Amino acid sequence: MKIGVPKEVKDQEYRVALTPDGAAALVAAGHSVLIEHSAGAGSGFDDAAYVAAGAELGTADEAWAAPLVLKVKEPLASEYRFLGTQTVFTFFHLAGVDPALTEALLRAGTTAAAYETLEDADGRLPLLAPMSAIAGNMASQMGAYYLARFNGGRGTQLGKVMGRSYGEVLIVGDGVVGSHAARTAIGLGAEVTVVGLDPPRGSELAKELGDRLHYRIYDPAVLAGMVRTADLLIGAILHKGARADSVVSESMVRSMPPGSVIVDVSIDQGGCIETSRPTSHSDPVYVRHGVIHYCVTNMPGAYPRTSTLALTHATLPYVLRLAAEGTGAFRADAGFAKAVNACGGYVTCRAAAESLGISDRYRPLETLI
């Protein structure tokens, strides 16, 4: 099979969907790989490395013309013209991005295989997890940065000074993002509270991160009280394929201290904080009710080398299967099949269809392939 890898066009997105080593593995398996010129440059992989791996170089049109297209982020409006009946394997986040993308996919009949809904045998999300980990680490780092007074922040340093902790970090969500954000914030020296729904998960995190972590079971009234004193609030809610629940209301945000910071990592799926709206690396923050909001939709793109290596390590085994078996790979593996969010002009992820209000355009994947 021919595999195409276009260069990412999202703002400040320097990741690439395939490394030279990955290209070499595909070529060794008998496939052909076409990389758009300079697609890997931002991650430190030059064109010569891909050529040495056996790949061809070409244009965006040529990369998109392949029957299997690998990307990192969802196609943008400027790329809709490339969509056809090919399989596109990337992050889509259909429930949280512009509904025009879903319409474009359905109109073109594209098979949209989403990294974020692919499940392993244990129901985990192995392709989303590494990027969630990086975003979680970043959430505490970015929060600490924007709390600085020269950034308009409250002037609270997240850290220990002469043995005493300063700064309150409140994390809503106890998954991969939440646990990594908590670990980083604890490492800085802050007081950290994670809000979740599962007492055993709280015990697990306490065992992993120590008694510096406080775990609270979600209750709207209790959350409202904790928000009022938080220096940094991190949104880390995930519902597979669906729009994130808005668990932090505008009135809660209004009650936060002036100069406090919100980092909504759930923004890819619509955000879990009512006052959140998507931002970019070029224009990352805005202020609402005196609170700085950081809601960048491609946070791991800030560290493209690490992110590309972590992502492609996870995706390559699935890419090799898709290249060898085509859509048959979905028929053979129910967890892999959950990656498919659109196919043949229909939405095939029920949660996405319901979030978008187009349940009438949902069809189970098994009826289409």
| Active centre residues (catalytic) | 93, 268
- Tokens representing 39? 């697609």
Cα first-last separation, the chain: 18
The residues, any chain, with a CB within 8 Å of residue 1's CB and separated by 6 or more, are 31, 32, 67, 68, 322, 323, 324, 326
Cβ proximity of 115 and 300 under 8 Å: no
Task: Kindly provide the residue ranges of all beta strands, DSSP E only, lying in 37-110, ordered along the sequence.
Answer: 56-58, 68-70, 87-90
Mapping DSSP to helix (H, G, I), strand (E, B) and coil, where does residue 225 land?
helix
Sign of CA dihedral 223, 225, 226, 229: positive
* Three-state DSSP class for residue 301: helix
C-alpha Rg value of the chain to the nearest Å = 21
Residue 158 to residue 185: CA distance in whole angstroms: 7
Q: For residues 338 and 366, is the Cβ–Cβ distance under 8 A? A: no
Separation between Cα atoms, residue 193 and residue 34, nearest integer Å: 47
Cα separation, 102 vs 99, whole angstroms: 5
Strand (E) or helix (H) holding 99: helix 99-108
What is the identity of the amino acid at 223? Answer: L
Burial track 151-185 (b if 16+ CB lie within 10 A, e otherwise):
ebbbebbbeeeeeebebbbbbbbbbbbbbbbbbbb
Burial class (CB in 10 A: 0-12, 13-18, 19+), 332: exposed
Is 290 exposed, middle or buried, given 0-12, 13-18 or 19+ CB atoms closer than 10 A? middle
Place of tokens 């703002």: 11
- Round to whole Å and give the CA distance between 217 and 27: 50
